[in-house]
Structure 1
Amino acid sequence: MFAVLVEMLRLAHVRRGVPLRAGEAVDLEVAVRVGAARRVQRAIAATVPSLSRSARRAERAAQRATRMATSVLSLRQRTVAVSGRSVPVSEAAVIASAAPNGTRHRDRDGVLLRLLGVLLLLVDVAALIIVIGFLVNVDWAAPSPADLVTVVALAVFGGAVQAMLAVRLGKLLWARRHSDPDVEEYPRRGAVVVPLAGLLGLLAALAAAALLVRVDVEAQLAQAGTLGTAVGLLLAGSALAAPWCVVAQEAYRESPEAALVRACARAVVRTDRAACRRLAFGRWCLDTAVRRERGYRARYTRLRARLHAEYLRAEEAVRIARGLVDPQLVHARDDEAFPLPDVPELDEPARDVADAIRTARAALAFAAGDVREDHDLAG
């Protein structure tokens, strides 16, 4: 552009007032316009790839936000098993909120009671190993493998028998608590519960008596009668209490209604937490898309301002050169302004990104409403 301006000034100086011929002026102005157009195209070609990448990243972020909103809606339609049938999580939330009002028993499994029963049974088995070992005259200083296997097998068998009887008795008591009293049964549960409880009590009492007697005898031999009696009573008490802890744990398990309510509540809470996590990630993706779209538009605006400034410089150069060569040419062709070129490879991505952001925003708003509704039902 400046070389063309210098050429026009040189012609004006050489001719000293001789007007520039029309053909020469047109050729020089065309050269200025062509040079400006080439620089504009080079600027566009250098900027379009990076701007296109920015637009694609913004569009992908908006699409991820839309996918997160869709996954939140699919979570709401996820089904859970309730009483042998599949129901949506929203219906499970209704069941979880309404069912506690109609339950007769709200017992729950006690972890402490279960742990206590297991520990007492282990103590019972260990004590039985010692008692049976003394009964079969096991040399504890150098026991033989056969004697150890025999003692451990008998002790574990005795503990397992008590545990099985305790579990069975507890289940019968649980069924008796939750059965309809008007329905006749044969044989009646009472006819089974009473002998089973008597057998379990007898086994526990025999194990406790064996432990107490054997520990007391060994304590008398070691001249520690008081300590032996205390230890014997402790072991006997554990032997008596161990099976009944298991019975109480099984007998007071939660009712089917309470189990249904707890299962539905767990499903609703898990779904609500997953939906909230996905919704938060979707909002973050939407914010990222909006931020990238703003950066894209800012860079695109700067590019168009740069192109406009390039054309303005070319027009100013032509106007100055016309005035220096012949003042009558300054306004000769003012209607031939430099038009800004369209950049479809940048305009179309901008529209696509804006559409994707609008879609993601609407989807997230709809999904957020569903999540709040499920949370209210679960509460």
Structure 2
Amino acid sequence: MSKAPAAAGDTLVKTAHDPAVLVRARDLTVDFKVPVRGALRPARLRAVSGVDLDILRGEILGVVGESGCGKSTTGRAVLQLIRPSAGSVTFDGVELTTQRGGRLRAMRRRMQMIFQDPFASLNPRMSIGELIEEPLLVHSGGSAGERRARALETMDKVGISRQWHGRYPHELSGGQRQRVGIARALVSSPEFIVADEPVSALDVSIQAQIVNLLESLQEDLGLTMMFIAHDLAVVRHLCDRIAVMYLGTVVEVADCESLYTRPRHPYTQALLSAVPIPDPDVEREREQRILTGDVPSPLNPPTGCRFRTRCWKAQDVCAVTPPVLADAGAGHQVACHFPEDPGPADPGSPVKPTTATSANQ
């Protein structure tokens, strides 16, 4: 298929970079202005605060955390669907935050997004074929026949019957609509996909089908993926590495097995202790770590460590100095002044959080 011609002056310039890293974010920050009753000026809400992430070629990086922690905003900022307030995002060595117009459009052909809600993300006035072919009109050009052939080929890949080509979204189930959303993301042959909670709006019976589809597509096409989710069981099944977010910051990054069996950050320990274990004997023996208090408002986050107001290990330094994401060995990074000693752990066994001796600050 012929590609749309690039505009004059749209040449992309690469900088020196680690070839193993496809996407790199440094000090990524996203602010929103929100109205405040009685105030003359809107307040600043920092949804993402100084996030550092490396996404390696061919891997699936899971991003997890509570609702409102900044997962989806981070994904959209990486794709430049939301412009960052500060920081850097590079894709294959190209700085994205400085790109505009045709240059950014050329990069977006290589980066696509699968949205959370298949009921809201598809235009009800467009047929399934038109929806899948639309990215080709924007990024690749080609004749109507070429676009149709490419759309039908992509429908085959995601398990959509070709007879649906002329149907409309309201005629499909939720799982079928999400397959259409996946086809839209794949049709332009991207290298990187952000999947923003792609199964959370679906019935439980359909979720496994979509997760298995994403896994097989990633393996067959060699995709790099950022998988945003709150279901820790799904993330463990699908992802190679996991980044844990809390109140706009990344608090821990590790490979999947290491994070689930040897969590270093207190917040990660609390998240994992809430995941049920099928074995009732193991479930009874492990210690439950229940967080107290509410998540602080991002309009007025705590000083120092943002988790300290709910942390059982917090000490005076936590209120003064924000912890930085530091290497803890074996590819494990943690942002905590008092990280948990990993110790030995059997693969798949729960790790009991240690009891803290210090009070919350």
TM-score bracket, shorter-length normalisation: under 0.3
Q: How does the TM-score come out when normalised to structure 1?
A: 0.18
User: Where is the helix percentage greater, Structure 1 or Structure 2?
Assistant: 1
Larger Rg: 1
Normalized per residue, which structure has more strand?
2
- TM-score norm. by structure 2 comes to 0.19
